[in-house]
Chain A
Amino acid sequence: MIPHIDPVLLSRIQFAFTLSFHIIFPAFTIGLASWLSVLEWRLLKTGDTVYAEIYRMWVKIFAVTFGMGVVSGVVMSFQFGTNWSVFSDRVGNVLGPLLGYEVLAAFFLEASFLGVMLFGWNRVSARTHFASSIIVALGTLISAFWILAANSWMQTPQGFRTGENGLLYPLGWVQIIFNPSFPYRFVHMITAAYLTTAFFVGGIASLYLRRGVHVRQARVMLGMAMIMAVFVAPLQLWFGDEHGLNTFIHQPTKVAAIEGLWETRRGAPMNLFGWPDQEAEETKYAIEIPRLSSLILTHDLNGEVRGLKAWPKDERPPVVWVFWAFRIMVGLGLLMSLTGLSALVLYLRKRLFDTKWFQIWCMAMTPAGFAAVLAGWFVSEIGRQPYIIQGVLRTADAVSPVRGSPVAISLAAFVFTYVVVFGAGSYYIAKLIGRGPEADAAVYGSHGVKEPPLITNLVSEEGERNG
């Protein structure tokens, strides 16, 4: 047996690991589901089969991604209990219904209507199929709504009272769901998911253009991706800024860690880069821009910004993680906006689809959205430490009465499983991408179930569309 290992730290690593893996899939499927609906809408509107070809390529990737999202999501719904049982007991009254709604309203609709989306192309009418695509897309958004409401409540809790045994009781659901950070986090995350998908699709389209294959479909894909980059990437910078200002009001410690600011002062500078040292209580090698922090956070060159020393040492998050994760996220966001700007210029010069350096650039940006989403969640979650519920319950007090060794073993098993399983998943997605949009066009309706006898009642004339 392994000697004593801290179960709190191990449980945190396990949760962070499984959740980081999980978030990649929803971040992709939220954007992909909405985009597939748009593609199908364009198909119904224009009748142009290029949309059908693109749809059928990406719906297969959607299926693989969604499958991985489902299985990694099942794990999450049990880990609250296996590793954070005290948390579950104490906040069950408040967070339980929110997570319950997430499961009910979204997971179910997604998982069931997904069947029609994937297997129903020849079995239901075009309208029913389109409706299924939209319902799946809405399902992903509703799912995100509830899970982000729950997470936001853990960041900015309100609308509850504390009863006996330290149990929390709800006082008002509207207050709980629409807690101060929720609207910001929701908009910021959904936009992030859309951008993640756009940059992934744009990268793949550029790969095709670069190789001179699937050019017709790739132009549509790149065009649609760049519409997102041009209009939504700059918007996201603004949303993120608003979210940051909201955090400054409600979670000033997190903002101090983001800024790497130790002393409370008026006219606080912004540390562009540096190395925050938790022990020495200073940010080493800092490159500062005078007064910029105060300007951004308080809209006043002489505004006061509280530094980390305003809180006791055991109330501060691990600064260096928050500091650098934030810079990675913002850096990627700026690169995305820059990509949008370049795309706009190239488009006006009619060179968007044949500029070599831009194709290589877009290929390099393929994983940018995923990296930015992960970095953003690291800022949000590590920045809340040492609390699991800001100001209410400490992470160290929320852990299950499970000893270190089972957690160490389960963590190792999760790492092994996820690397094997999701490595293989990525490999098959790469294969689907390599095959491109035109191959095996008749994939729908040939999944192996014979035509049901009474199909005429269900399927209208449009059921024949094989595209």
Chain B
Amino acid sequence: MVNLGGLLDVPLVWFGLIATALFLYVLLDGFDLGVGILFPFAPSDGCRDSMMNSIAPFWDGNETWLVLSGGGLFAAFPLAYAILMPALYIPVIIMLLGLIFRGVAFEFRFKATTSRFVWDYAFHFGSIVASFMQGMILGAFVQGVQVEGRSFAGHAFDWLNAYSFMTGVALLFGYGLLGSGWLVMKTDGITQNWARRCSSYVLGYVGFFMVIVSISMPMMNAGVKELWFSAPNFFYLLPIPLVTACLFAKLWYDLHRGAQTSPFFLSAGIFLMGYLGLGISLWPWLVPFSVTFRQAAAAVESQSFLLVGTVVILPVVLAYTGFCYYLFRGKTSNEGYY
């Protein structure tokens, strides 16, 4: 039996890995979901073709990060998986159905002729539904989950309230920001100009929602308030809101300066800051506010066994993902389909 327990803090390593995988999912599928959200608002069919083509080589690779987050949670923290999935039964299923529609719309759109508009809408609404549900899941998650013993003890609709609705809308704008940043980088001409306008339009909303979440989280939970606003934590954590504010300012400036690639990476930076803020607030809960990541961890020999393969395979996968993005770098034109 492999047991790395003596060498390193295996549950902590897994917590870091899954947090990273989930962030990569949010970032990568975020931009292609964002493209789907913005899809029908593009000025022409030609623009829509180049939008589709800009994400065609990447979408299924991006979506596998969701499978890794879900599968990884099951493998490394089965208790958290077993509590969260029933608690979020309805939004998780609706999210999956949304992802199905948009995923196949990718493939079918290029094959369809007369029915293309059907798949355009399937792509758009699938993206919206999946994104909105992910936002609602986030909102329900930060409000905490009712647990008894080793299972979910709440009701089927505990996840549904005004707060989770707000976070759902917030994530739509957030993904819209990532998607428009991506399009500024990958397209040119009218598509790019339009994407640039979209980006500065949604930027204000993203800022607004980030402020609301930042204020409401400490108000809803005394522990979170204590963590952020007691000395000396306050000063250690101060860089997070400050850096976020700088990123917003820089993004606004770059969009109006006509920058090509920086808007996407600045948007990604804003997501990273938001993710860090949430992560710090919820530490060390994996099922807020009842089960910590240590309590939810699988047996150390199980975590070790999977870790051995992961440290070998994950760098290869990351390198390959990078290679894929490198291979299809540069601007996407709008002629032809795959």
Residues of A within 8 A of B (CB): 63-64, 66-68, 70-75, 77-78, 80-82, 85-86, 88-89, 91-94, 96-97, 99-105, 107-109, 111-116, 118-120, 123-124, 165, 169-173, 400-403, 405-406, 410, 413-414, 417, 421, 424-425, 428, 431-432, 443, 446-453, 458
Contacts and interface: CB of A to CB of B under 8 A. Distances in A.
Nearest to B326: A452
16 contacts: A63-B107, A70-B60, A71-B99, A74-B100, A77-B74, A86-B82, A92-B298, A97-B302, A101-B309, A108-B313, A115-B57, A171-B1, A400-B82, A425-B108, A450-B331, A451-B330
Contacts of A447: 53, 56-57, 336-338
A406 B82 CA distance: 17
Contacts of B89: 82, 400, 402, 406, 410
A357 B298 CA distance: 59
A115 B61 contact: yes
B79 A428 contact: no
Interface string B212-250: 000000000000000000000000000000000000000
B259 interface: no
Contact of A96 (B83, B96, B298): B298
B175 to A, nearest CB: 18
Contacts of B150: 89, 165
B320 A112 contact: yes
Nearest to B152: A401
A413 B64 CA distance: 23
A350 B90 CA distance: 60
Contacts of B4: none
A80 B74 CA distance: 8
A448 B74 contact: no
Q: Is the interface of A mostly helix, strand, loop or mixed?
A: helix
B334 interface: yes
A99 B302 CA distance: 12
A103 B100 contact: no
Nearest to A406: B156
B100 A100 contact: no
B152 A96 contact: no
B314 interface: yes
Given A75-B96, A94-B302, A114-B60, A89 B332 contact: no
Contact of A97 (B58, B99, B306, B335): B306
Contact of A81 (B67, B74, B324): B74
B68 interface: yes
A115 B78 CA distance: 32
B2 to A, nearest CB: 8
Interface in B295-338: 298-299, 301-303, 305-306, 309-310, 313-314, 317, 320-321, 324, 326-338
Contact of A448 (B49, B61, B76): B49
B144 interface: no
B74 A450 contact: no
Contacts of B72: 100, 103
Contacts of A403: 156
Nearest to B83: A85
B104 interface: yes
The bracket for how many chain B residues form the interface is 35 or more
A89 B78 contact: yes
B106 A67 contact: yes
Nearest to A455: B327
Interface centre among A78, A99, A120 (most CB of B within 10 A): A78
Contacts of B331: 450
Contact of A406 (B64, B90, B328): B90
Contacts of B1: 170-173
B228 to A, nearest CB: 31
Nearest to B93: A410
Contact of B61 (A85, A112, A123, A421): A112
Given A70-B64, A111-B60, A421-B104, 6 more contacts: A82-B88, A93-B78, A105-B313, A119-B57, A169-B302, A446-B338
A94 B301 CA distance: 10
A428 B112 contact: yes
Contacts of A173: 1-2, 305
Nearest to A91: B78
A88 B153 CA distance: 16
A71 B104 contact: yes
B57 A82 contact: no
Nearest to B68: A103
A116 B96 CA distance: 26
Contact of B313 (A73, A88, A104, A410): A104
Interface in B73-117: 73-76, 78-79, 81-86, 88-90, 92-94, 96-97, 99-101, 103-104, 106-108, 111-112
